[in-house]
Structure 1
Amino acid sequence: MKHSFKASWEEIEENPELFVSSICTSLQSQFLVMPKGNGFIEYPIFERGYEELKQATNGFTEFSEDKISPTLFKIPISIIVLRSILGFTPPEWAYITTQRTGIKVDQGFARSLDRKIRMNPFNVLSPNGVLKSRLDAMIRVACQLLSEEVTYVGNKNLHRLDKADTRQGLDGVQLLSTIGAPYAMLLYERFLGRPFASHRDSVSELVGDTLESAIEDVLTSYKISYRKTKRAERIPGFDQAPDFIIPSEYNPQIIIEAKITEDDGTARDKVTRIQHLSELSMAGQTNGVPKYEVIACIDGRGFGVRREDVKKMLLATRGKVFTFKTLSNLVEFSRLKEFAIK
């Protein structure tokens, strides 16, 4: 099957579906392997936090702020274990704390604390100042929630604490921690999320970096001048900075947009972005020649389930769509060869 970047514009216009199939066939899903990134909590570390919390509460039978607080300040990873029992995100825990206590705990504080603990899970927290008042409030609310049975919310709704371990308040937590079930592992997987979704969200940029790094390797190997932009960077002439500009933002001749995604919604957003860049290029054309060439480098299941969007991207880039599998052709079959030094 012929690749779109090897075809003429006439061939693409005549039978775009053929080339959409070619692109989709070469896509590879990356969802089975994720980078750990900074702040990844290994299970033995999480389990230690679980055991410390279990001992501090006498097997979850004495669940009070006075019992828990000293341990959480001394062994901060226990805070993440407690959050995992609740099944809340840091901002959710902060919100319900503010709601129940009147003590303002904003989501920025909750996220920063969570990040600080993941980076240094055993660094003792200073038990004074704003940190103490906010964290004590969060602990107090956690104890309240886990000491209550779940409120009935009707047949058409589901309570967030209606889980096997928290449905009956602390009785369920105590039971799971003593019947021989690997409760610490259950909590660890809940911490990582659906499964591993919370971690996947936290390293989403690192996942994308693998493709961008591969593109940089190709450009560097051919000694091509390029400008890789930073997230949210402002570049004159662009309402949103492209991922790569060749040779520079002062004389853009080639634009490369890169994206790996397993989510079809994110894939759609990237296609829309590429279409917009194509429109900007055509608006700045001279004598029928586009202002710059737009190249798409993509991969992941998210694009594979959106054939119509891949077709739009194919037409917007005039066939210049590459995947991980075809990235070795990037220079030879694009205007990049004009800037290559072999």
Structure 2
Amino acid sequence: MPSVSESVSRVVEAESWDQRVARIRLIPQQHGTGEHPGIYAAIAREAYVPHLAPDFAYIHEAPFYERPYFEEVYKAAAEATDDFRSVTVTNLKDAVMDDPRTLLVFRTIVGLTKEEFAHSTTLAAGPLDLSGLSAGKIDAMERKGTATTEDQARVVAETLSAVMAGTLFGDPPGDLKSKQDKPDTQGGWRAVQGFASHGVPYSMLLHQRHYGGAFRQVLDATSSKRGDLIEDAVEALFKDNGIPYIRTGSHNQGDIEERFEVRVTPAPDFVVFDDSDTLRAMLECKGTNNGGTARDKALRFERLRDESIRLGGIPLLAVLGGIGWARVNDTLGPVVRDTDGRVFTLANLPEMLTVAPFPSLIGLAAD
């Protein structure tokens, strides 16, 4: 029987993907279970980690969060309030009525999320016998300038005034401090006026990034785009090469089970089939830059492997992204095990078409 290092070398030095898969499948026969985790981790480290890309270095463009849009709306808010000197309830109400997008600036000043500000409007509206605004309404005002009634604008203005005066929430309990206990609002509107007129020290800007999280808002806002990045690339590869496939989602879970008898829920991200409508492969996409999250996501492949076995050994493939998978012992190693080594990244995605069953499927879905 080969040693651990010999088995790892044989896998890493395989001349083709199918040969690599075949050699990985021999590991349970050639080694005791106690050696398996170390072997799969070593294979993952040597053969797969080099292909992981640091996608944390990039973000999607999101016009609502980009500087030009904010500058445009900021200018409108500053002009409507004489650089934040005219900030009575009436002034603020008129500013929001004239251009609802200015709420983005005012809400950013008080440091509340849309959901938090929506709840705050409910608190402020109660004594006025008015209704608060929903987070959806706030979002529509800020993004699209959706028309706002006079009552809604008044509630916004009353909320802003109460928050800035420190009267809406009361004194913070225990060791907590108010979110308005920050440089530009510690002194109320006077502090806002000072920063608007004289600017912000660079050290203060950097501290706010440190305190609030670099790119946190835009990353949260574009999380679905980041999640789709890998799946979109896989779908493009399949389309370009005429591979018959279905990209699954909440809309077709039942169809996947009925058509292919795939019972695991949710279904894998892609199912691949041949011209006789027979299931030929299952593929799952996962991306993360956090090792703990990768560990949790790795468990999904164990469930899919069990389903693959139940279906008679249907090949299971993984397409991974992000440096979270570089933690090999409890993340990438187990995925290599569960997929028999059929693990790819965006960097080597085209190579996936060389591993069974894809060579026999190319062109079957061509127009």
TM-score category, normalised to shorter length: 0.7 to 0.9
- Higher helix residue share: 2
Aligned to 1:33: 58
The 5 A counterparts of 1:184-263 are: 194-231=213-250, 233-235=252-254, 236=257, 237-247=263-273, 251-263=278-290
Taking the aligned partners of 2:342 and 2:217, their CA distance within structure 1 comes to 34
Cα distance, 1:137–1:302 mapped onto 2, change above 3 Å: farther
- Among 174, 180, 184, which residue is 2:199 paired with? 180
- Among 52, 59, 75, which residue is 2:83 paired with? 59
Aligned to 1:141: 159
5+ residue gaps, structure 1: none
- Among 311, 322, 330, which residue is 1:300 paired with? 322
Aligned-residue offset at 1:112? 4.8
Q: TM-score, normalised by structure 2?
A: 0.77
Aligned to 2:109: 85
Aligned to 1:126: 147
The 8 Å contact of residues 232 and 241 in structure 1, kept in 2 or not, is answered as no
The 8 Å contact of residues 232 and 240 in structure 1, kept in 2 or not, is answered as no
Identity %: 24
Q: 1:13-66 CA distances to partner (integer Å, 9 max, x unpaired)?
A: 5521222203222211112222224x5343233122222222322332332221
Taking the aligned partners of 2:273 and 2:141, their CA distance within structure 1 comes to 39
Which has the higher Rg, Structure 1 or Structure 2? Answer: 2
Q: TM-score, normalised by structure 1?
A: 0.82
- Among 301, 309, 317, which residue is 1:282 paired with? 309
Instruction: Give the 3-state SS of the residue equivalent to 2:319 in structure 1.
Output: strand
Q: 1:261-282 CA distances to partner (integer Å, 9 max, x unpaired)?
A: 2234543443222221112222
Cα distance, 1:23–1:179 mapped onto 2, change above 3 Å: same
The 8 Å contact of residues 151 and 159 in structure 1, kept in 2 or not, is answered as no
Aligned-residue offset at 1:133? 3.4
Cα distance, 1:262–1:158 mapped onto 2, change above 3 Å: farther
Taking the aligned partners of 2:80 and 2:346, their CA distance within structure 1 comes to 50
Cα distance, 1:116–1:23 mapped onto 2, change above 3 Å: farther
Taking the aligned partners of 2:350 and 2:13, their CA distance within structure 1 comes to 13
Cα distance, 1:302–1:295 mapped onto 2, change above 3 Å: same
- Among 292, 315, 335, which residue is 1:313 paired with? 335
Q: Confirm whether residue 322 of structure 1 aligns to residue 337 of structure 2.
A: no
Taking the aligned partners of 1:12 and 1:294, their CA distance within structure 2 comes to 17
- Among 18, 24, 29, which residue is 1:9 paired with? 24
The 8 Å contact of residues 118 and 135 in structure 2, kept in 1 or not, is answered as yes
Cα distance, 1:12–1:168 mapped onto 2, change above 3 Å: farther
Q: How well do the aligned residues superpose, as a CA RMSD in angstroms?
A: 3.2
Taking the aligned partners of 1:297 and 1:34, their CA distance within structure 2 comes to 20
Aligned residues: 323
Aligned-residue offset at 1:155? 6.8
The 8 Å contact of residues 286 and 297 in structure 2, kept in 1 or not, is answered as yes
Aligned-residue offset at 1:84? 1.0
Q: Which amino acid aligns with 2:108?
A: S
Instruction: Give the 3-state SS of the residue equivalent to 1:253 in structure 2.
Output: strand
